Chain A
């Protein structure tokens, strides 16, 4: 069984540029999570979905970040105008149902210059 896959693995941007991250969860998992992990810190939940519905996006900086999961499978996280403070690894995770064990992808390492 394939695990959670993410692309790209790395991204380097200038401030003000936009970037999108993609996540393909484990097949059949209805819950999908996006985390931000700054260097030498623990991950922080940004948003999570059950199927296509956003359950909690309270920690997502809504002015520049957006996340969608239109068909309840793959998901995209987008940063409209990146800032240096967005430099971090963005992790995607999925679970079979809400509250079950979360399986993490390899992450996308973003550097904003």
Chain B
């Protein structure tokens, strides 16, 4: 079965520090890749997505992610975090052929940014 692995469950950073959250998936076919974010008390919302083309994807709020097919990875990055980035971040994979339209999520990474 397809799976998504996020390397860190908790990350604590100071404001202005750089962020990189790891994500690896276990499927070798064609996949679509997503990062979702859940701010405290809010619903899950899309941060960015990769379907095809340029493997470096830019999303909202200065986030970006790089798809490295050979490493089955889709790591999330931000050069300088802000206190408002405190949230839980989920990597997800959508394999349209095998799983229809559903997303498979990682366990999430809780990011706390200290002001």
A binds B: no
